[in-house]
Amino acid sequence: MRNREEPPEEDADGAVGVSLSPPGGLLDVLTVGAVVLDERGRIVLWSPQAEQLFGYSAAEALGRYAAPLLVPDEHIELVLRLFDQVMREGKSWAGIFPVKCKDGRVRLFEFRNMRLHDDQSAVYALGLVTDRAALREVERDLAFSTLLIQQSPIGIAVLDTDLRYVSVNPALARLDGIGEEEHLGRTVREVLPPSHARDADAVLRRVLETGEPVMDREVVGGEIPAGEGHAWSVSVYRLDDSGGRPLGLSISVTDITERHKAAIQAEQARQRLSHLAEASVRIGTTLDLEQTARELAEITVPELADIVAVDVLDAAVRDQPVRIPEEETATFRALALVSAYPTVAAEAADPPGQVARYSAERLITRCVATGQPVAVPAVQPEDLRGIARDEDSAALLARAGVHSYLAVPLIARGEVLGALDLKRTRNPKPFDHDDTILACELAGRAAVCIDNA
């Protein structure tokens, strides 16, 4: 996990200032004591933390020789030798050493010893000491915390009070698509896409000001059902010191794309069922052929398509055999044409009541000949000739912005009666498998009604 070093705090004039904070930092957690010895090894300074660690009050310790007071007999010679090195050679010493405490127990402490000088050329030894068990516990906790964050599959970042990244784990770097080092020192506005940066900045500032966390906020980018987007669950909470002073923010980010996709698909399935339920009520209200076709077209617009036509085989209307070999033309009768809004694409379709012969190359002809749906999810200019009746109609469809096409057969009692023709212009999504299933369901219900008409 990469971390940015914090610069010294500055006042309004840009000068480096003093930052005071109440007890509660790492030194207080560890209880670091300070002991100062003179050249003879007598205790001349004794901190309250030293009293906490060893049990001796300042009155009991000051003026006494440190070695006989604190060091077990078997280690006194070694301690005196190390003390001599510190005082005579200026050599600092660090390590773990046993100490006799006031309660009679011998405990292990971590020491840092160094030489001090005063303005009178006197020499002293400063010993900084903490409980070994407490130190190891803190070191272990820090190591575990580092590993937990470093190896976490959840993206984690820490921001300072200026909302700049000071720490980022690998998971967050992967989610952002930006290296850990590239985050550090930058704001979310500089890292996130503009579409997300403004909202994110506002949320972060609100959490920093109020201390009220934001949990499981869902952020979506791109078209998830089309496989081009992602969804994330973002939580933000403020980091305060023991005195309640804000230190910054912690952000956790989880990729929930699959969960979001499943929710979208479940909602789409619910909508399809609702649509089918509505269709069962609205389609086939009369035995009139044209009315039934129009009811089918109307329930399909605009939920499924922007422009819908219903064409039946003329032979079906005349109660003649309707099987069409794939290589032959087919004669259709236009029954209904509905669009979600005025469009020149409507001019490209045969008006209701017109009978026309379609070539074998027309996609609608292929649909009725095979009895299978024909879909062109992303319509190209060359596809329009197979959708439209002629070149002029193809030009109209191009002007209208037809970008996706679907034709599904009208089948009743095993026979193809015609086709439901669907086009999308304003709806930006291409027809997909679920759309085809819904269109076939609607067409199947309408075909039974048409067959009975």
Read off the DSSP letter of residue 345. G
199 with 328, same domain: the answer is: no
**Residue 1 maps to a domain:** no
Give 3-state DSSP helix, strand, coil % of the chain, rounded to 5: 40, 30, 30
**Residue 107 maps to a domain:** yes
Neighbour-count burial of 212, counting CB atoms closer than 10 A to its CB (0-12 exposed, 13-18 middle, 19+ buried): exposed
Q: How many Cβ atoms sit within 10 Å of the Cβ of residue 433?
A: 10
Read off the DSSP letter of residue 85. I
Exposure letters 100-109 (e unless 16+ CB within 10 A, then b): beeeeeeeeb
335 with 416, same domain: the answer is: yes
Of the residues 136, 170, 194, the one at which a domain ends: 136
Task: Decide if 143 contacts 116 (C-beta within 8 A).
Answer: no
Gap between the Cα atoms of 289 and 284, Å rounded: 9
CA torsion angle 134 143 6 243 (round to 10): -40
Half-sphere exposure of 449 (CA within 13 A, CB side): 24
pLDDT of residue 26: 60
- Phi, psi angle pair for 48, to nearest 5°: -60, -35
For helices 257-282 and 289-300, angle between their N-to-C axes, nearest 10 degrees: 160
Task: Decide if 356 contacts 331 (C-beta within 8 A).
Answer: yes
Question: For the domain that residue 102 is a member of, what is the CATH number?
Answer: 3.30.450.20
Closest CA to 339 of 353, 357, 351, 354: 351
384 with 417, same domain: the answer is: yes
pLDDT digits (tens, 9 = 90+) for 434-444: 899 999 999 99
**Residue 3 maps to a domain:** no
For helices 289-300 and 433-452, angle between their N-to-C axes, nearest 10 degrees: 160
Q: Which amino acid is at 445?
A: R
Ramachandran region, residue 435 (left: φ > 0; alpha: ψ -120 to 50; beta: rest): alpha
227 with 282, same domain: the answer is: no
Cα-only R_g, the chain: 40
Task: Decide if 443 contacts 410 (C-beta within 8 A).
Answer: yes
Gap between the Cα atoms of 75 and 67, Å rounded: 9
- Token duo for residue 247: 């230190």
Q: Cα angle at 369 between 363 and 372, to 5 degrees? A: 75
- Phi, psi angle pair for 173, to nearest 5°: -60, -40
**Residue 245 maps to a domain:** yes
- Token duo for residue 357: 């012969």
pLDDT of residue 323: 64
Tokens 């050493």, located at residue: 97
In residues, how long is the chain? 453
408 with 318, same domain: the answer is: yes
Task: Decide if 3 contacts 183 (C-beta within 8 A).
Answer: no
284 with 250, same domain: the answer is: no
Of the residues 186, 220, 255, the one at which a domain ends: 255
Gap between the Cα atoms of 407 and 386, Å rounded: 12
Domain that holds residue 305: 264-452
Ramachandran region, residue 316 (left: φ > 0; alpha: ψ -120 to 50; beta: rest): alpha
**Total number of domains in the chain:** 3
Gap between the Cα atoms of 98 and 96, Å rounded: 7
Neighbour-count burial of 330, counting CB atoms closer than 10 A to its CB (0-12 exposed, 13-18 middle, 19+ buried): buried
pLDDT of residue 449: 87
Gap between the Cα atoms of 346 and 350, Å rounded: 8
Question: For the domain that residue 269 is a member of, what is the CATH number?
Answer: 3.30.450.40
347 with 433, same domain: the answer is: yes
88 with 158, same domain: the answer is: no
First to last CA, the chain: 72
Task: Decide if 442 contacts 416 (C-beta within 8 A).
Answer: no
Q: Is 138 helix (H, G, I), strand (E, B) or coil?
A: helix
**Residue 314 maps to a domain:** yes
Q: How many Cβ atoms sit within 10 Å of the Cβ of residue 23?
A: 9
Q: How many Cβ atoms sit within 10 Å of the Cβ of residue 283?
A: 24
**Residue 271 maps to a domain:** yes
pLDDT of residue 224: 42
For helices 433-452 and 257-282, angle between their N-to-C axes, nearest 10 degrees: 10
pLDDT of residue 325: 58
Of the residues 200, 234, 255, the one at which a domain ends: 255
**Residue 60 maps to a domain:** yes
pLDDT digits (tens, 9 = 90+) for 385-434: 999 989 999 999 999 999 999 999 999 988 899 999 999 999 999 999 98
Gap between the Cα atoms of 252 and 233, Å rounded: 8
274 with 198, same domain: the answer is: no
Closest CA to 133 of 3, 30, 259, 60: 30
301 with 441, same domain: the answer is: yes
119 with 165, same domain: the answer is: no
What Cα–Cα distance (Å) separates residue 58 from each residue in 40, 50, 103, 205?
18, 9, 16, 48
pLDDT of residue 16: 46
**Residue 393 maps to a domain:** yes
182 with 315, same domain: the answer is: no
Per-residue pLDDT of the chain (453 residues; tens, 9 = 90+): 555 555 545 544 444 444 555 555 566 667 899 999 999 999 999 999 999 999 999 999 999 999 999 999 999 999 999 998 899 888 888 889 899 999 999 999 999 999 999 888 899 999 999 988 888 888 787 777 777 788 888 999 999 999 999 888 999 888 888 888 889 899 988 888 887 888 899 999 999 999 999 999 888 875 544 445 788 899 999 999 877 889 999 999 998 888 888 888 788 778 888 877 787 778 878 878 899 999 999 999 998 999 999 999 988 777 666 666 566 788 999 999 999 999 999 999 999 999 999 888 999 999 999 999 999 999 999 999 999 989 999 999 999 999 999 999 999 988 899 999 999 999 999 999 989 999 999 999 899 888 776
